[in-house]
Amino acid sequence: MTIQAAQRLGLRVAVLDATSGSPAAQVTPLEFVGSWQDPEAVRRFAAACDVITLENEFIDAEVLAALEDAGKPVFPDSATIAKIQDKLIQKQHLSKAGLTVAPYRAVTGEADALACGQEFGYPFLLKARRNAYDGYGNRTVRNAQEIAGAMRELGFPQRTLYAEKFVAFRSELATLVARGRNGNAVVYPVVETRQEHHICKWVLAPARVDRGIVAEVERLALAAAETVNAVGILGVELFLGPDDAVLINELAPRPHNTGHYSIEACATSQFENHTRAVMGWPLGDPSLIVPAAAMVNLLGKRNGPGRGEDLPAALKHARAKIHLYGKAESRIGRKLGHVTVVGEEAEACLREGMAVDAALTL
Ligand code: ATP
Ligand code: MG
């Protein structure tokens, strides 16, 4: 989706992915196949590029730093990625900047995790520090007996972990900051998000919260973007606590799933603003151009081919915008696409988006 936005602005975009025929390679002929963890593959790709950007935070900050040392502009840069890609370091940065996060601590062995249970109470969360997404790096621990198994499932000791206090949130919120190379920043509408099994299921825009909470989310998001020196889109996930306190859950230095609604609902999509920001161009207006919108993720319902057999039935929802990513394989819970509905009222949009989801057996 970033490539499509960049192409509309006349750019040619090359993509590096570990497998050929990736969704990104279906929209550009400039395909490089290789691992982002392989410095040689990254160097070959970089040689074809004037500016480099990322669509995940998993590529090693050191690999990016080597590109910068060789004179390649990379946005977000290696210093930003180094502050974010390890979630424990990210939490430390946010706390140091005075931005509220849930209580956390490093876990270097079972004794630390037991101490977390004592300090935070049960349940608490064990999380992988790196390479986690869609909840694949999270385990909720309900009692001391579950600690060893959860650590093993998360890949400990090969994978490093940390622990977080369980937040009994009222709801989850998110926003996006688009921040240019010159530090100018704009903030997108605050949205309400629903995660099921740690995966985003739907997003409502605007969030059903009062003006004071919106202002606090905007303040935290802009301050977070400043403190990590983000360039491009920074996704900011937050918890709205039972007492209306707002905590940052995590940052994502790239276009974010909770911002997909912006394609149809905002004056400038997150993908266009990401492109504008990394190119050093003026940012577009992020405001809503409709009263309300809902986005529902289309998650795999089976293990098998990724094609939607029931697409014609879903398309009978004539106002819904269905996006299918062209992933070859479906797996239960895998993100295969999303649907956005815009309208007068967010809950009605959500009902229609859910009906589209129900009509598809991806
Ligand atoms: P994603 O890629 O979907 O953002 P992730 O793997 O990065 O997911 P997190 O954002 O850390 O994982 O967590 C996913 C979801 O799990 C959160 O949106 C929230 O619903 C739940 N969760 C995470 N941390 C906590 C917490 N400390 N207390 C309560 N719930 C939590
Ligand atoms: Mg998350």
pLDDT recorded at residue 132: 82
- The pair of structure tokens assigned to 343 is 């309208």
CA distance linking residue 82 with residue 94, whole number of Å: 13
Q: Residues 225, 232, 3, CA angle at the centre, nearest 5°?
A: 155
Q: Which residues contact 103 (CB under 8 A, 6 or more apart)?
A: 119, 120, 164, 165
Work out which ligand 1 atom sits closest to the CA atom of 167: 28
DSSP assignment of 157-204, as one string?
TTS-EEEEEPP--SEEEEEEEEE-TTS-EEEPPPEEEEEETTEEEEEE
| 78 lies in the same domain as 160 | no
Domain-ending residue, one of 116, 147, 165: 165
Domain presence at residue 96: no
**Is 356:310 a contact under the CB 8 Å cutoff?**
no
> Residue 170 has what pLDDT?
96
CB 261 within 8 A of CB 203: yes
Residues 142 and 111 in one domain: yes
Residue 61 lies in a domain: yes
Same domain, 148 and 175: no
Q: Is residue 8 part of a domain?
A: yes
Whether residue 137 lies inside any domain: the answer is yes
Is-contact 15 32, C-beta < 8 A?
yes
- Kindly state whether residues 205 and 307 are assigned to the same domain: yes
- At residue 57, the pLDDT reads 93
| Residue 93 included in any domain | no
The per-residue pLDDT for range 139-176, each reduced to its tens digit, is: 999 999 999 999 999 999 999 999 999 999 999 999 99
Q: Annotate 101-112 with DSSP letters as a single string.
A: B--EEEESSHHH
Cα 191–Cα 282–Cα 292 angle in degrees, nearest 5: 25
Gap between the Cα atoms of 278 and 124, Å rounded: 38
Contact 30, 20 (CB under 8 A): no
Domain identity same for 208 and 143: no
The pLDDT score that the predictor gives to residue 98 is 97
d(Cα 341, Cα 291) in Å, to the nearest integer? 11
Q: Output the domain CATH number for residue 38.
A: 3.40.50.20
Residue 133 lies in a domain: yes
Q: How far apart are CA 362 and CA 352, in angstroms?
A: 18
pLDDT of res. 266: 98
Predicted local confidence at residue 36, as pLDDT: 87
336 and 194, same domain (yes or no):
yes
Counting Cβ atoms within 10 Å, is residue 38 exposed (0-12), middle (13-18) or buried (19+)? middle
pLDDT for position 119: 95
The residue whose CB lies within 8 Å of the most ligand 1 atoms, and thus the one to mutate among 58, 192, 198, 335, is 198
Specify the CATH number for the domain of residue 114. 3.30.1490.20
C-alpha dist (Å) from residue 99 to 64, 89, 96: 27, 14, 7
> ∠ at Cα 125 (121, 129), nearest 5°?
135
Asked if the structure places residue 95 within a domain, the reply is no
Of the candidates 142, 165, 188, which is a domain's last residue? 165
Atom in ligand 1 nearest the alpha carbon of residue 164: 27
- Pair (192, 148) in one structural domain: no
Q: Is 283 exposed, middle or buried (0-12, 13-18, 19+ CB in 10 A)?
A: middle
Q: Is residue 215 part of a domain?
A: yes
Query: Within this chain, do residues 212 and 293 fall inside the same structural domain, yes or no?
Result: yes
Kindly give the confidence (pLDDT) of every residue in the chain, 362 residues in length, as a single tens digit, with 9 standing for 90 and above: 999 999 999 999 999 999 999 999 999 999 999 998 888 999 899 999 999 999 999 999 999 999 999 999 999 999 999 999 999 999 999 999 999 999 999 999 999 999 999 999 999 999 999 988 877 899 999 999 999 999 999 999 999 999 999 999 999 999 999 999 999 999 999 999 999 988 999 999 999 999 999 999 999 999 999 999 999 999 999 999 989 999 999 999 999 999 999 999 999 999 999 999 999 999 999 999 999 999 999 999 999 887 777 899 999 999 999 999 999 899 999 999 999 999 999 999 999 999 999 999 88
With a Cβ cut-off of 6 Å, ligand 1 is lined by 102, 125, 127, 132-135, 137-138, 164, 166-167, 172, 195, 198-200, 237, 249-250
- Whichever domain contains 204, its CATH number is 3.30.470.20
Neighbouring C-alpha atoms within 13 Å toward the C-beta of 7: 12
Cβ–Cβ under 8 Å, residues 325 and 307: no
Closest CA to 265 of 338, 205, 355, 191: 205
Q: Which residue has 């309300």 as its token pair?
A: 292
Output the residue whose Cα is nearest ligand 1's atom 19: 198
Residues 124 and 65 in one domain: no
CB 343 within 8 A of CB 291: yes
Domain end, chosen from 119, 134, 165, is at 165
pLDDT in the model for residue 305 = 84
pLDDT value, residue 311: 93
End-to-end CA distance of the chain: 20
199 CA distance to ligand 1 centroid (A)?
8
> Which residues form the domain of 336?
171-359
8 A C-beta contact, residue 53 and residue 278: yes
Same domain, 30 and 112: no
Q: Are residues 204 and 350 in the same domain?
A: yes
Domain count, the chain: 3
Same domain, 120 and 234: no
Give the pair of three-digit tokens for residue 31: 């395909």
Mutate to test the pocket of ligand 1, among 234, 249, 254, 335 (most ligand atoms within 8 A of CB): 249
